[in-house]
Structure 1
Amino acid sequence: MHTLISEDRVLAHGKTRDRFYELKPRVNYSKSIKISNEFSHIDMLQNQILPNLKILSKNVYDICEFSIMAVLSNTIDHAKASRIYYKLFVTDYDVHIILSDNGRGIFDHIKQSLDLDDLHVAAIEIAKGHVTSDPENHAGDELRTVVHLFDKVTIDASGLCLSYFNPNKDWTSNVSSHQKGTRIHLEIKTNSTRKLEKVFHRLFDKERRFIRIPVSLVRTAGEQVSSRQQAQCLLNNISDLQSIEFDFNHIDLIGPAFADELVRKTKQKNNSININWINSNKVVDVLMSRAVNRLT
């Protein structure tokens, strides 16, 4: 502790026996910028944001540079925002990057562009990956890549919060207080060994037209997963896939109608697709196997 104090790396709070310390952030910088005709997100990245991140190791710096550019480009292309806010917070242990705008929320944009039923279905499409509202000009790989580069990614928009936890490949959705625009929070350990090129290679080498679908995202308030309508929410945009994997993490029980619809509609949309599932208990295995066997 004496070393940290002498190096001015901690903040002291309180006096004598009540005193406690916390590490000073190495970077704590934020700014709100108006998007005008003269605005350039490339200039903002190069001249304002990246100089504050030079203290990071090269691999973490590269991840941050790529990801911030991807998010900013998406905001400029699709959000129709008039302001962008960003915050950089770096400690000896963690890097936090928050990018927020006051434009059209990402879930609402995807819902309208893909003619989906509701915002939760739009969130599911983001979790599935390869989602794009402009297929003629974008492959939809940027956000998918950003999600896999960080330890945790949280997307807040239109009253919905979608989070991805990289270590266990887990998606969750919750209610959010964020209504206007989109807020994206990127988190990664300062000493992370993750490398941009290795993630690219894993995601794009010998691409198998495969997706993993987190089934738990069909629940909006912890309700049972039992209806055909819930199954249908998972099955948009699967016609060109070779393989689909349903992830039943956090799911203890499904209904027979849900399992039947999941398999039946998948095969109707793409009869040659391979259907697999993971993180399932014995009850889920029985119902999914029954549905597959009845339709093959």
Structure 2
Amino acid sequence: MIGVRKRGEAIRQFILENVEEHPSDIVGITTSQFQISRQAVNKHIKLLVEQKALVVKGATRSRRYSLHPLIEWTNSYRLEKTLEEDLVWQHDISNLLKELPDNVRDIWHYGFTEMLNNAIDHSSGSNVSIHVKKTASTTNIKIIDNGEGIFKKIQRELGLSDERHSVLELSKGKLTTDPNHHSGEGIFFSSRMFDRFSISAGSTYFSHEFGKTEDWIIEHKENQTGTTVIMFLSNNSSRTSKSVFDSFTSHDDYGFTKTIVPVHLAQYGDDQLISRSQAKRLLVRIEKFKKVIFDFDEVETIGQAFADEIFRVFQLQYKDIELVAINTQKQVQQMISRALSHE
């Protein structure tokens, strides 16, 4: 009887840990994992619904499950100079997350205060709203301001020709429109600490998932006002903020010295990366780092001029910077090798 009870607990724990990734097919996933019938899985789900651990929506064929929120909290603030992100954390947010492990709370403290500070200092908006949703498994925080929009602001301040160039610059790190007051590290490190991190503004959506070197960008049809930041993290994550910082610093000076550049962000639509101007766009501010990893995932081909500008011309100018190419397909590697052979 004890064995049956433990198996039931294992099945229900599996459902809770996987339902957010599989809201519409969690029954099938669980059936396959434990080699039990759909009827048996549905009994466990019914119990979790009765215990208010799960929420169910929709009819039989369109039924979707989600974790029942333990906390749902929303508040709005005037974006005034008197608003301080750390006081909002102390007075409003910290208490909502008090039962989380210390390492998880540390990540939330860093990410929340950095993103709220960006809204206060850079959005040029009048209002910011904060939404916290905590379940038994995960926590999700949204910060939404009604300002200019982060990508448009970066485009304007840096004189970029396209909002999408702003995403490429954000993905490198060390980007700030106010260097006297900001290091430009907040968004970069926040995006690397959380399980999922996204920013949407205007018609552009930027996202990063932990464990993946690449960032990705989507264009929306609708033009959204302001900026929305969404941070998502498991309540039981073993990750620490220190481990993320350490992975992008050199231990001799503990500076932010390494970056990973998702090369595919430099190409739009069906464009191929062939020109020196495209390469120069990718190389903007790269001289600020000691090691640069160019991730060619999703890039099928590059031109000779593009490869030459990065791996020969730039490298000759900055010999102390280590350039590394990863996830290169055959044609891409051939072009890089050709550029290196002319050093």
Q: Which runs of 5+ in 1 are unaligned?
A: none
Name the structure 1 match of 2:199.
Answer: 155
With over 3 angstroms needed to count, the CA separation of the structure-2 counterparts of 1:276 and 1:33, relative to structure 1, is: same
What is the alpha-carbon distance in structure 2 between the residues aligned to residue 236 and residue 18 of structure 1? 47
Deviates more, 1:220-229 or 1:68-77: 220-229
Which of 286, 302, 314 is the matching residue for 1:254? 302
- 2:337 corresponding residue in structure 1: 289
User: Once the two structures are superposed, what CA deviation does each residue of 1:46-79 show, in whole Å capped at 9, x if it has no partner?
Assistant: 2222222223232222211221111111211111
Output the CA distance in 1 between the equivalents of 2:56 and 2:132.
Answer: 22
Which amino acid in structure 2 is aligned with residue 175 of structure 1? E
- Secondary structure of the residue aligned to 1:213 is strand
For residue 175 of structure 2, what is the amino acid of its counterpart?
V
Residue 188 of structure 1: aligned partner = 233
Q: What RMSD, in angstroms, separates the aligned Cα atoms of the two structures? A: 2.7
Structure 2: stretches of 5+ with no match in the other structure: 1-43
The residue aligned with 1:24 is 68
Identify if the C-alpha distance between structure 1 residues 72 and 283 changes in structure 2 by more than 3 Å, giving closer, same or farther.
same
Read off the aligned partner of 1:185 and give its amino acid letter. I
Residues 178 and 62 of structure 1: CA distance in aligned 2, closer, same or farther (over 3 Å)? farther
Report the TM-score when normalising by structure 2.
Answer: 0.77
Distance 1:110 1:15, change over 3 A: closer
Counterpart check, 1:146 vs 2:190: yes
Asked if 1:80 is matched to 2:124, the reply is yes
For 1:231-270, what aligned pairs fall within 5 Å after superposition?
A: 231-267=279-315, 270=318
Q: Which residue of 193, 212, 218 corresponds with 1:168?
A: 212
Superposition deviation, residue 268 in structure 1: 6.3
**1:201 counterpart (230, 241, 246):** 246
Once the two structures are aligned, what percentage of the paired residues are identical? 29
Once the two structures are superposed, residues 14-70 of structure 1 have per-residue CA deviations (whole angstroms, 9 ceiling, x without a partner) of 899999865311222222332246544333222222222223232222211221111
Larger Rg: 2
State the 1:209 CA deviation: 2.8
Residue 86 of structure 2 corresponds to 42
Partner of 1:58: 102
1:126 match: secondary structure:
helix
Distance 1:13 1:188, change over 3 A: closer
Amino acid corresponding to residue 130 of structure 1 in structure 2: K
Say if 2:260 and 2:295, in contact at 8 Å, map to a contact too: yes
Residue 135 of structure 2 corresponds to residue 113 of structure 1: no
Alpha-carbon contact 1:110-1:133 (below 8 Å) kept: yes
- In the alignment, the residues of structure 2 paired with residue 208 and residue 46 of structure 1 have an alpha-carbon distance, to the nearest angstrom, of 28
**Counterpart amino acid of residue 198 in structure 1:** S
What CA distance in whole angstroms lies between the structure 2 residues aligned with 1:252 and 1:17?
39
Map 1:125-140; keep pairs closer than 5 Å. 125-140=169-184
Structure 1 pair 30/269, CA: closer, same or farther in 2 (3 Å)?
A: farther
Please tell me whether the aligned partners of residues 23 and 91 of structure 1 are also in contact (alpha carbons under 8 angstroms).
yes
Q: Quote how far apart the aligned CAs of 1:128 are.
A: 0.6
Output the CA distance in 1 between the equivalents of 2:183 and 2:62.
56
Cα distance in 2 for residues equivalent to 1:161 and 1:272: 34
- In structure 2, the residue corresponding to 1:30 is in which secondary structure? strand
Instruction: State the shift of 1:152 in Å.
Output: 1.4
The count of residues paired between Structure 1 and Structure 2 equals 295
Distance of aligned partners of 1:5 and 1:181 in 2 relative to their CA distance in 1, 3 Å threshold:
closer
Cα distance change on mapping 1:269 and 1:99 into 2, 3 Å: farther
Distance 2:183 2:48 in 1: 48
Question: 1: CA distance between counterparts of 2:54 and 2:165?
Answer: 45
With 208-217 and 247-256 compared, the bigger mean Cα shift is at 208-217
Q: How far did 1:236 drift? A: 0.8
Aligned-partner SS, 1:164: strand
CA shift for structure 1 position 102? 0.8
